[in-house]
C-alpha cells in the first residue's frame, strides 16, 4: 500500500513493484515459505481512502479462497492506524493478519541493498513472527511491539515507536462477524471523507504564536519558559526548531534549553506537564550533546494545510480548514504542486519582511491530496522562508480556478526568471489546529517580465508567470 518502507532515491519515491519484490525476497528468512503479492493500490499512504482498504480486504478474502490464511501487509505510516482499524472490522477473526511499515526505507538510495540504518527490517521480522505465533485476528507490528489493530493510535509522526495500543497479549472484546466486501461497499466508500488529523487540542488557537516577541501576547515559548524556570530554579531560555508565523503552531515542535539544574528526566517531564496549561503538552525530554541546537540541527520541516471545497461552509471545522466555496480544477493543482519540488529560488514566494540571507530552498516533497471534499497540501523542505508556504498554498488555490496549465512546450525557458516573479498570492489571517492553516487570500501586484501571449486563457498574467518559472 505504498509508504516509506518501499521507497528509494532522493527525494524518496516508490520503487516499482517488479523491482521491489525481488529485493524484498532477499531479506526474508529462509525458514518461511512466503509468496509476495502487489496490493491493488500503490500510493502515498496519506492519499489512501476507504476505497483502497476495501479493495485490499477484497484481495485478502479472495486469497483466503485459495487457502492462504497468514498475511503480512506493508503499509505507509500516515494512515496505517486507519487501515488497521478497517481491516480488523471487516476480517475479524477469519485469518491471521499483521500490518507493518517503517519510518525509514528498507533499501538504500540506489535500491540494490538494504539501508545502513533502517527500522524496516526489524518491523518486518516482528510482523512475520507475530503472524505465525498469535491467534487469528488483525494486529499491527511496529518497533518491537505487536498491538491489536482495532486499538491502534498513531502517537508520533517521526519517532520509531510511532504507534500505541493494547498489546497483542491482552484480551479485548472482538466482533466475530466477518464482512465480505461487496461492490456496494466500495460505491458507498466513494462518498466517505477521511482526513488524517493529528490529535492535538483545538485550544491551541488561544496562543498567538510560538515565539515570544511582544509583551502581553500569549506565546507557547514564554509559557513553557516560565514553567521550566520554576523547575530549574533558574532562568530558562527555550530555543525552538522553527519560528512560526503569528497564529501558526507546530504539532511536533522540537525545542532545547541549557541549564545547570540536575533533575531526573521524569522529573522534568512530569513536573512541566503538571504545571503547563491543558493546551500545551510536552511529549518527551532527553539529554542532548552540547553541540545540539533544535533549530540549526533540524533536518527538515513539514507543513500540512487543509482546504474544504464545498458550496456550503463547514460548521464544526470552520476554525480548522480553509473554505473554498468555488469550483477548483484539482488535477491542475496537483500537477502544479509537483513543480515546487526540488531546489529552487523562492524569492517571489517570501514576505517583504523576510530576514533570510538567501531565498534558495530544497523542497523534498510537495503533494496535494484529495480526500473527498478535503484538499490536503503536504510539503516538506530543508527550511522555509517567511510566508513561503502560505504563498504557495494561495498560488495553488488561484491555479485551481483556471485551466491554462498544460500544452506549453516552452516552460523550461523561464526557469531562470525567479527574481522577476511577482508576489503571486499572499495568504494572511492565519490560525491553526491539527496541522491546518486557515487562509484568507488577497492578490498582490507584480511586474510582468515574460511574454504570456501564448496562453489560451485571459487569466491574470502574474500567476501564469509564477507557475511557469517554477517548472
pLDDT band at 154 (very low <50, low <70, confident <90, very high): confident
Check residue 244 and give its pLDDT. Answer: 60
Same domain, 72 and 137: yes
pLDDT in tens, 293-352: 877 887 888 888 888 888 887 776 666 677 888 889 998 899 889 989 999 988 888 888
Could you tell me if 184 and 215 lie in one domain?
A: no
Q: Which residues, 6+ apart, have CB-to-CB distance to 156 below 8 Å?
A: 162, 252, 283
What CATH number is attached to the domain comprising 441?
Answer: 3.30.70.660
Helix (H) or strand (E) holding 396: helix 388-399
Of the given ranges (63-72, 212-221, 372-381), which has the lowest mean pLDDT? 212-221
Same domain, 315 and 432: yes
Give pLDDT, residue 204. 36
Residue-wise pLDDT tens digits, 16-30: 989 999 999 999 878
pLDDT of residue 111: 92
Summarize the confidence of residues 405-421 as an average pLDDT.
38
pLDDT for res 99: 97
Convert 226-244 to b/e letters by CB count within 10 Å (16 or more is b).
ebbbebbeeebebebbbeb
What element of type H or E holds 230?
helix 220-232
Please say which residue of 277, 298, 319 terminates a domain: 298
Cα within 13 Å of Cα(462), Cβ side:
17
- Omega before 373 within 30 of 0, i.e. cis: no
C-alpha cell recorded at residue 293: 541546537
Are residues 290 and 307 both part of a single domain?
Answer: no
Question: Tell me, what's the pLDDT at 466?
Answer: 42
Residue-level pLDDT at 211: 58
User: Do residues 288 and 403 both lie within one domain?
Assistant: no
User: What per-residue confidence (pLDDT) applies to 239?
Assistant: 83
Across 194-223, average pLDDT: 53
> What is the rounded average pLDDT of the residues 263-287?
83
**Can you give the pLDDT at residue 245?**
58
Active-site annotation holds for 378: no
Among 103, 99, 128, 96, residue whose Cα is nearest residue 25: 128
CATH code for position 240: 3.30.70.580
Task: Please give the torsion angle defined by the CA atoms of residues 152, 156, 161 and 163, in that order, rounded to the nearest 10 degrees.
Answer: 0
Structure confidence by residue, pLDDT tens digits, 41-64: 888 887 788 899 999 999 999 999
CATH at residue 81: 3.40.50.1170
pLDDT band at 215 (very low <50, low <70, confident <90, very high): low
Q: Are residues 293 and 305 in the same domain?
A: no
Averaged over 448-459, what is the pLDDT?
Answer: 32
DSSP 26-69: HHS-TTS-------S--S-GGG--HHHHHHHHHHHHHHHTTT--
Per residue, the 3-state secondary structure of 138-188, as one string, reads EEEEECCEEEEHHHCEECCCCCCCCEECCECCCCCCCCCCCCCCCHHHHHH
Domains of the chain: total = 3
Q: Catalytic pick from 122, 245, 382, 407? A: 245
Tell me: do 202 and 185 sit in the same domain.
no
As a whole number of angstroms, the distance between CA 353 and CA 16 comes to 44
Q: Which domain holds residue 206?
A: 193-298
* Contact (CB, 8 A) for 307 and 321: yes
How many other CB atoms sit within 10 Å of the CB of residue 246? 17
Q: Do 310 and 389 belong together in one domain?
A: yes
Q: How far is CA 26 from CA 20, 38, 121, 192, 440, in A?
A: 10, 17, 11, 39, 52
The confidence band for 217, taking pLDDT boundaries of 50, 70 and 90, is: low
User: Do residues 215 and 293 both lie within one domain?
Assistant: yes
8 and 94 part of one domain: yes
pLDDT at 144 over 90: yes
Final residue of a structural domain among 129, 164, 189: 189
Question: pLDDT grade, residue 7 (50/70/90)?
Answer: very high
- Cell numbers placing 321: 480548514
- Which stretch of 97-106, 131-140, 240-249, 395-404 has the lowest confidence by average pLDDT? 240-249
State yes or no: pLDDT of 214 exceeds 70: no
Q: For the ranges 183-192, 369-378, 379-388, 419-428, which has the lowest average pLDDT? A: 419-428
Q: Is the pLDDT of residue 110 over 80?
A: yes
298, 322, 349 — which closes off a domain? 298
Cβ pair 98, 131 in contact under 8 A? yes
**In Å, how far from its chain's centre is CA 80?**
12
> Are residues 310 and 173 part of one domain?
no
| pLDDT (average), residues 99-128 | 94
141 and 63 share a domain? yes
Grid coordinates of 440: 484568507
What is the value of pTM for the model shown? 0.50
Mean confidence (pLDDT) of the chain: 77
In this prediction, residue 69 carries a pLDDT of 95
Amino acid at each position: 500500500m505504498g509508504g516509506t518502507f518501499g521507497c528509494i532515491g532522493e527525494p524518496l519515491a516508490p520503487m516499482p513493484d517488479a523491482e521491489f519484490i525481488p529485493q524484498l525476497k532477499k531479506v526474508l528468512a529462509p525458514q518461511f515459505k512466503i509468496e509476495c503479492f502487489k496490493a491493488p493500490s500503490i500510493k502515498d499512504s496519506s492519499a489512501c481512502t476507504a476505497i483502497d482498504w476495501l479493495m485490499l480486504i477484497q484481495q485478502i478474502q479472495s486469497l483466503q479462497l485459495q487457502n492462504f490464511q497468514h498475511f503480512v501487509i506493508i503499509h505507509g505510516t500516515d494512515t496505517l492506524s486507519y487501515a488497521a482499524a478497517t481491516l480488523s472490522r471487516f476480517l475479524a477473526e477469519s485469518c491471521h493478519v499483521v500490518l507493518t511499515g517503517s519510518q525509514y526505507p528498507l533499501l538504500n538510495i540506489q535500491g540494490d541493498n538494504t539501508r545502513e540504518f533502517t527500522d524496516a527490517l526489524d518491523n518486518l521480522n516482528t510482523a512475520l513472527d507475530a503472524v505465525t505465533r498469535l491467534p487469528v485476528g488483525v494486529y499491527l507490528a511496529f518497533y518491537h511491539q505487536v498491538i491489536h489493530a482495532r486499538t491502534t493510535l498513531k502517537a508520533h509522526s517521526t519517532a520509531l515507536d510511532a504507534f500505541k495500543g493494547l498489546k497483542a497479549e491482552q484480551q479485548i472484546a472482538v466482533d466475530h462477524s466477518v464482512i465480505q466486501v461487496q461492490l456496494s461497499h466500495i460505491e458507498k466508500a466513494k462518498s466517505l471523507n477521511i482526513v488524517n488529523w493529528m490529535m492535538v487540542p483545538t485550544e491551541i488557537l488561544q496562543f498567538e504564536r510560538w515565539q515570544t516577541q511582544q509583551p502581553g501576547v500569549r506565546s507557547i515559548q514564554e509559557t513553557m519558559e516560565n514553567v521550566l524556570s520554576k523547575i530549574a530554579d533558574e532562568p530558562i531560555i527555550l530555543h525552538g526548531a522553527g519560528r512560526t508565523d503569528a497564529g501558526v503552531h507546530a504539532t511536533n515542535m522540537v525545542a532545547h534549553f541549557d541549564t545547570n539544574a540536575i533533575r531526573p528526566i521524569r522529573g522534568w517531564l512530569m513536573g512541566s506537564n503538571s504545571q503547563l496549561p491543558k493546551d500545551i503538552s510536552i511529549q518527551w525530554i532527553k539529554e542532548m550533546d552540547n553541540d545540539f541546537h533544535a533549530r540549526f540541527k533540524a533536518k527538515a520541516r513539514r507543513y500540512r494545510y487543509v482546504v474544504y471545497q464545498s458550496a456550503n461552509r463547514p460548521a464544526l471545522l470552520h476554525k480548522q480548514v480553509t473554505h473554498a466555496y468555488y469550483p477548483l480544477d484539482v488535477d491542475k493543482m496537483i500537477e502544479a504542486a509537483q513543480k515546487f519540488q526540488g531546489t529552487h529560488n523562492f524569492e517571489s514566494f517570501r514576505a517583504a519582511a523576510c530576514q533570510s540571507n538567501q531565498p534558495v530552498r530544497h523542497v523534498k516533497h510537495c503533494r496535494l491530496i484529495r480526500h473527498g471534499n478535503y484538499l490536503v497540501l503536504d510539503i516538506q523542505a530543508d527550511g522555509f522562508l517567511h510566508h513561503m508556504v502560505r504563498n504557495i498554498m494561495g498560488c495553488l488555490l488561484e491555479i485551481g480556478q483556471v485551466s491554462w496549465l498544460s500544452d506549453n512546450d516552452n516552460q523550461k525557458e523561464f526557469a531562470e526568471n525567479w527574481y522577476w516573479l511577482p508576489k503571486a498570492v499572499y495568504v494572511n489571517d492565519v490560525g491553526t489546529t491539527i496541522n491546518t492553516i486557515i487562509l484568507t487570500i488577497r492578490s498582490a501586484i507584480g511586474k510582468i517580465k515574460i511574454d504570456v501571449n501564448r496562453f489560451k486563457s485571459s487569466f491574470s498574467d502574474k500567476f501564469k508567470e509564477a507557475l511557469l518559472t517554477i517548472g
